[in-house]
Amino acid sequence: MSKAHEAIRSIRTAKGLKQEEVATKLGMAQSNYARLEKGLTQITVDRLEQLAEVFEMSVAGILSYEVGQQPTTDDINYYINYCKKLEKQLAESRKRVSELEEESYELIEGKSDAQKAAKTKTKELLEKIKDRDRTIQLLEKALDTISKSANPR
C-alpha cells in the first residue's frame, strides 16, 4: 500500500479495533480520526509514532504495511524494545511498591509507638488526677476539722 491512511485503516481493521477505540487511545475525537483514515488530514510524525504504539508495531511497519504480511524485522525490533520498556516500568513499579510497603510499615510502627506513648501519658495524667482528688479530699477533711474546732457548738 502506498498511502499511509489506507495502511492505517487496514491495520486497524486487521487488529479488530474500532475507530473510536483508536481515537480514544490517541486522545482525539472519532470524527477527526475518521478524517485521518480517509486521507483528509495530514499525518504528522508524532501521530505516526502514537499509531505505532497503539497498533504495537513500528512506524516503518505502518508505512510499508501490506494486507496479510508477516511481521518485519522492524516490527520484531519494536516488540523487543517495547518489552524492554515494559520490563523497566515493571522493575520501577516493583521498587516503588517496596518503598511504599516500607513507608507503611514505618507509619504503622510510628503509630504504634505514638499510641504507646499516648497510653503511658494518659495513665500518668490519670494518676495525677487521682492524687489531686485525694489531696482535695484531705484538704476538705482538714477544713472541716478546722472549722469544727474553731466553732465548737
- The grid coordinates of residue 64 equal 510499508
Q: What pLDDT, on the 0 to 100 scale, is given for residue 93?
A: 92
Domain borders along the chain are 4-69
Residue 2 pLDDT greater than 50, yes or no: no
Q: What pLDDT, on the 0 to 100 scale, is given for residue 1?
A: 40
Q: Residue 39 corresponds to which amino acid?
A: G
Q: Per residue in 15-36, pLDDT tens?
A: 899 999 999 999 999 999 999 9
Cα separations in angstroms, 51 against 56, 60, 71: 8, 11, 16
Q: What CATH topology corresponds to 4-69?
A: 434 Repressor (Amino-terminal Domain) (1.10.260)
Q: Measured in whole angstroms, how far is the alpha carbon of residue 27 from the centre of its chain?
A: 20
Rounded distance, CA 38 to CA 88, Å?
Answer: 37
85-94: average pLDDT: 90
Proportion of the chain above pLDDT 70, given as a percent: 93
First vs last C-alpha separation in the chain: 124
Q: What's the pLDDT band for 105 if we cut at 50, 70, 90?
A: confident
Which ranges in the chain belong to alpha helices (H)?
4-14, 19-26, 30-38, 45-55, 59-63, 73-150
Whole-model pTM?
Answer: 0.50
- The grid coordinates of residue 27 equal 486522545
What residue has cell string 518503598? 99
Q: What pLDDT, on the 0 to 100 scale, is given for residue 153?
A: 59
69-83: average pLDDT: 77
User: Who's near 12: CB < 8 A, 6+ residues apart?
Assistant: 19, 22, 37, 55
Total residue length of the chain? 153
